[in-house]
Structure 1
Amino acid sequence: MALLELRDIWKRFGVTQALSGAAFDLRAGEIHALVGANGAGKSTLSRIISGHIRPDSGEILLNGTRLRHTGARDAIRAGITMVTQETSLAPDLSVLENIMLPRIAMPGRLDWRALRRQAQALIGEIGQSEVLRPDMPVSELSIGQRQLVEILKALALDSRIIIFDEPTAALSPHEAEQLFGLMRSLATRGHGLIFVSHRLEEIFAVTDRVTVLREGRIVASGLATETLQQGELVRLMVGRELQDIYDRGGRSRWRTDGAVILRVSHLSCPPMVRDVSFEVRAGEVLGLAGLVGAGRSETIETIFGLRQPVSGTIELDGKPFRARSPRDAVRAGIGLIPEDRRGQAIVPDFSVRENLLLAHLGARSAVTLGYGMRGAAVRALLERLELPERRLLDANMLNFSGGMQQKVILARGLVLAPRLLLLDEPTRGVDIGTRSSIYAMLRRIADEGVACVVVSSDFEEVIGVSDRIAVLSDGASVAELPAELIDIEKLGMFAAPRSSAEKTHTVLGELVARYGGTAYWMAAEGGRLFCFDRVGDDPSADPGFVTGGFPEIAATAIAHAVGAPAGALHRAADGARPTLLVPISGKRGHSLGIVGLTFGQAPADFDAAAVTQHILAALGERRDAPNETRIEV
């Protein structure tokens, strides 16, 4: 018997038929994916299951018994909880109070000591004990941390059925991996989980079965995930084949000919932005990469006038620029697509047209609305983004799917034809088809000469859409690289928080203090070196690259050691630059880069084998025969 079964569910919102005879079943102990393009009906079906809305017709069976809940509270009592993509937290309450908020509405006395212990245990279960404290006000949390509290709120109820609606949209890769482990643990304990996600790699990584919706109808029901291919799933979702969504159509990734539109130098806006520098040219897409908390969003908010810098400079078209408010930025030709759709971009009580033309009103000084003067531009943008013009008259933006909302916000940023466009997580929570159209739009506006800065937590996305990538870590610039030379693994090493890389940095410092020379952490691939960290300033031991550098191997002073057996001291043909290189691997055998030590002249007592074992013991897996290992290039 199915734990949960839906039969012939119909739902209409005004003129929009959201669901047409949808059917779905969930088994105990499984993670069942609910997928489809934006507007397919996934969220509507999820909200019906969780009691947020009622279907027009159809029935819901729980353990074979017909379920008649009249609201979310009834669903919670029946053991059904939903983790929403848009958080519904009370910002003035603490983390503990928000986690236990559903309990407050339940009968009986509240034992806050016991609730605190339970909350602390749940926080520890998702690996956030060091950053999420029960007494912290939710208003002080980042978007990703708020999403974690939303998840904890559902877990605190210990519901038999939990619906996760885009739970990883605001999470870092590490946080998402911890969540997946928790989900698998819940399924093992007999819970039934419904997982709604637009990230196909997540679907294949964590789910057991897949049900696909398209335009309110079920087109594939309960398919075993292991039997599916990604192309097949995309075809079921969007009704057609999709080629490479990052396809550049022959467009070069090297845009050195355009004028510099924006130059940021040593920008500081505490506490999140400490020392950020980069530049972007006309016709170029620059990616700002980093993990959650790196200061990426705060950097572009400072440029746009939402935050005020304390030091550093910003130049726009070669002239000093400082936006004291977003209006200054809009009037200077800067557009912003913000990260938080609900909190920063949408006015729910405004119509779609009013939401789309908000930037127009901000740039206008006249007392009249002047919507007519933007009519042609609006129609052209709607056509580009495949948005029906009739939907402009819709009275409420919340009737749109997340992807449709994102398209309206993107159109708003483009309606004034900006010279510089700042995009913060532009594809968060949208399906692969919508992502493809957004990427195509981004390439088109760059080709028209607009300078674009894209913030994304998805390393695959930031590499795919960008010409160059500026990497931030702990509020500071650490590297600036051509996108075509980098991959996800190396980008992750550059972006590692300084606290995470501190152990490696400490080992490098210890090596230099004990033996002299220059120590570094790097990777070697495709004929290039990528330097993540370096300690030591002895000119005679200079390896030929600096932190953040990516030179060709042949142009460095250690080319003679790269590709040679690891764990031994190698000298150049003239006897110069003796170098030891030690490849580091994690517990699962994946590469963590190479630790190197180069000398002008090696100490007489230097024991390469012993130093190799010391490095492996401190940073990687110990090897008994390091001399048998060669560094792959």
Structure 2
Amino acid sequence: MLQSNAQTRAEALLTARRVSKAFGRTQALSDAALTLRPGEVVGLLGANGAGKSTLSRIISGHIQPSGGEVRFAGEPLTLTSTREALRRGIALVAQETSLAPDLTVLENIFLPDLATPGRLSFARMRAKANDLLRMLGHEHVLPLDAEVRGLSAAQRQLVEIAKALALDARLVIFDEPTASLSATEVDRLFDIMARLRDGGRALAFVSHRLEEVFAICDRVTVLREGHCVAEDIATSTLTQGDIIQHMVGRDIGAIYSARTPTESIGETVFEVRGLRAMPWVRDMSFSVRRGEILGLGGLVGAGRSEAVEAIWGLRARQAGEILVRGQAVPLRRPADAVRAGIGFVAEDRRAQNIVPDMSVRENLMLAQMGQHSGFGRGFGKRADRVADLLRDLGLPADRLDQSLLNFSGGMQQKIIIARWLLTEPEILILDEPTKGVDIGTRSQVYRMLQDAADAGLAVIVISSDFEELLGICERIIVVSDGITIADLPADRLTEEKLTLLAAPRTSTARNQALLRDLAREHGGDAFWTLLDGDGIICLAQAGAELAGLVPGQAAEAQKTHIPAALTARDGVFVTEADGQRQTLLVQMTDRRGHDLGWIGLTLPGDVPPPPPDGIRGRVRALTRGPEEETA
């Protein structure tokens, strides 16, 4: 086992050594180890089935170990219940939330307190809950009196996090807390984790997203097949390749393999026009071509999943047209979609994709059985194809009749995708296809999708992971507040650009109000754009269309009406060579200096321009608080 060099650090708050756990004949842990110190975030890593969640549940009192030793604050830790762990100051933010669906957000946040002796002050609880949600940046998004059963998966995860924070625990284990969160919500969570760490808490962070590990973790411990293969290693001494090799025992190469799909991309096979399914989907349009991998990108709550459910017949539509191979099709229920050649892998693997009482074989053949008519189940017709898929999945044929729940989340997801490939669809839609799976499985899923696209399948991937979309998609549709915002080639985008494009319209309301004010006051064209070399992506526009920029579209500077200004970016009004237009560009940055785009104002060339300093001050006010403006 690889172990770090000793350094001068705080005394360990928790140490686990030689921990084992068996569930019947299944040995989940054999020789697990973990060290957690105050003031550190330790990444607990491993492939699906490595034992990360099992070790986390042992430390937090959910289950008892079969062997080994766990010490907390210098004393042996023997827990008989989660309540005892909470009393000791150990909290778990679980991957699968443990909330009471019939209770309110407020009651769930303080669920551990409800059974304690004495009288509870709901006024004090409400005030503290508001403070916690304000820390999370969600005081308006999570109404305290709402029942948890009506919340989205991302909102439930935030309640789970708030519940752990309310305990003021000394040790907090975050077991894949970001699986349902958007990029912005992940940043907020990391800010909170950093504050907890700096306040002297010991934190463990379980994640399959290595970019998150490098962003927040000070050290890492890696499990493989129940064994600890690398313990307490400084993150700064490792690369992603090092961690992947520890996790899977081999080099899997690049996560996103290069693809040159120009020859395999053909005609448009699926198109959605003006889709509306209120309240989440207001006006969405997009299309995908044969052999293309199209991304639907946006933040949690943008309406992407709801749009696909409306297409699939799971949600009522008020407007919109759906075309397959150029012909309008009436998709009123899932069976209609299957007959039209559309497959759909839903986001929630356990609730929407798996039939737990069925075997692997039956789950694999489930969609194909819907296509089969006559007596029997039609397994024999696809025997050769099933054998090929099993080989690709790495699943032994003698395990086909076992329960699908006996397999890791990663294998479950690959079988669900294979289920739809068996139906030989023309269009395959996947909602968060790598949510909660390890790095090796992600790589395999991507290869499955690329191979399917190379064979002519039109693939649509919905994801909150912008790195994923940029890595596997040729084109990305950006969605915000239920509206299609942009349709752009992936190679014109970065994670930062996608984040700005996908921002909720409510969070950019001040920017757009400024554009309207500038256009009205000066009678010109006001716009907000991203600039990268000679490339431009227009985010918003108001007033006369003088600059030649269209919201949601990319362009080259020389192909707009204001190439001189876009090239100069001087912070003063720049007049074009023909004298017809003059443009001021002012860059926006946040408090950390990150580029938030440029605000531009284009006026006719013969109009006296306003003083640039006044406009620069108004742009600066967009990204600074009132206290900074008056300082």
Tell me the TM-score range normalised by the shorter chain: over 0.9
Identity of aligned residues (%): 51
Whichever residue aligns with residue 152 of structure 2, its letter is S
Distance 1:481 1:254 in 2: 20
- Distance in 2 (CA, whole Å) between partners of 1:449 and 1:386 is 24
Deviation at 1:499, TM superposition (A): 1.0
Equivalent residue in structure 2 for 1:551, among 544, 548, 555: 555
Task: Give the structure 1 partner of residue 309 of structure 2.
Answer: 301
Q: Of residues 440, 458, 466 in structure 2, which corresponds to 1:451?
A: 458
Tell me the TM-score normalized by structure 1.
0.92
- Output the CA distance in 1 between the equivalents of 2:166 and 2:370: 43
Residue in structure 2 matched with residue 80 of structure 1 by the alignment: 90
Identify the residue that residue 438 of structure 1 maps to in structure 2.
445
Aligned mates of 1:459, 1:175 — CA distance in 2: 13
Q: Indicate which of 519, 523, 542 corresponds to 2:530.
A: 523
Report the AA paired with residue 403 of structure 2. Answer: A
CA shift in 2, pair 1:583/1:191, >3 Å: closer
Moved more, 194-203 or 89-98: 89-98
Give yes or no for the alignment of 1:574 onto 2:581.
no
CA deviations on 1:26-57 (whole Å, 9 max, x unpaired) are 22232111001112111121122222222222
| Change beyond 3 A, Cα 1:97–1:374 | farther
Mapped pair 1:214 → 2:217: no
* Change over 3 Å in CA distance of 1:350–1:60 after alignment to 2: farther
* 1:402-417 matched pairs, under 5 angstroms: 402-417=409-424
Alignment of 1:230-379 (within 5 A): 230-249=240-259, 251-252=260-261, 257-364=265-372, 366=374, 368-379=376-387
CA contact (8 A) 2:586 2:616 kept: no
Matches within 5 A, 1:418-567: 418-537=425-544, 542-567=546-571
| Gap change, CA 1:599 and 1:114, over 3 Å in 2 | closer
Q: In structure 2, how many angstroms separate the alpha carbons of the residues matched to 1:115 and 1:320?
A: 54
**Matched position secondary structure for 2:208:** coil
Q: Which moved more, 1:494-503 or 1:380-389?
A: 380-389
Aligned to 1:58, which of 68, 71, 85? Answer: 68
Q: What amino acid does structure 2 have at the position aligned with 1:426?
A: P
Cα distance in 2 between the residues matched to 1:30 and 1:450: 46
Give 1:107 shift: 4.4
What TM-score does the superposition give when structure 2 sets the normalisation length?
Answer: 0.93
Give the Cα separation in 2 of the matches to 1:74 and 1:388.
Answer: 42
Deviation string 1:309-348 (CA, Å, 9 cap, x unpaired) is 1001111121212322222222322111111122222233
Deviation at 1:64, TM superposition (A): 2.7
Q: Contact 1:569–1:608 (CA<8 Å) still a contact in 2?
A: no
* Inter-partner Cα distance in structure 2 for 1:191 and 1:340: 32
CA contact (8 A) 2:230 2:246 kept: yes
Distance 2:39 2:47 in 1: 26
Aligned equivalent of 1:590, options 591, 594, 602:
594
Alignment of 1:601-620 (within 5 A): 601-604=605-608, 606-620=609-623
Summarize deviations over 1:114-151 as a string: whole Å, max 9, x none: 33333222222211101111101222212111110111
User: Structure 2: which amino acid aligns with 1:578?
Assistant: Q
Give the SS at the match of 1:599. Answer: strand
Given the superposition, is the C-alpha separation of residues 360 and 77 from structure 1 closer, same or farther in structure 2, using an over 3 Å criterion?
farther
Structure 1 range deviating more: 445-454 or 58-67: 58-67
Corresponding residue of 1:9: 19
Closer, same or farther: CA 325–581 of 1 in aligned 2, 3 Å: same
| 1:90 paired residue among 77, 96, 100 | 100
Q: Cα RMSD over matched residues?
A: 2.1
Q: Which runs of 5+ in 1 are unaligned?
A: 623-633
In the TM superposition, what is the alpha-carbon distance from 1:520 to its structure 2 partner? 0.9
Find the aligned partners of 2:358 and 2:61 in 1 and give their Cα distance.
26
CA distance in 2 between partners of 1:394 and 1:73 (Å): 35
Partner residue of 1:627?
none
Is 1:32 matched up with 2:42?
A: yes
Q: Can you list the C-alpha shifts for 1:274-307, whole angstroms capped at 9, x where unaligned?
A: 0000100111111001111111111111111111
SS in 2 for 1:561: helix
Query: What is the Cα deviation at residue 211 of structure 1?
Result: 0.5
Aligned match of 2:165 in 134, 140, 155?
155
Whether the aligned pair in 1 keeps the contact of 2:587 and 2:595 (CA below 8 Å) is yes
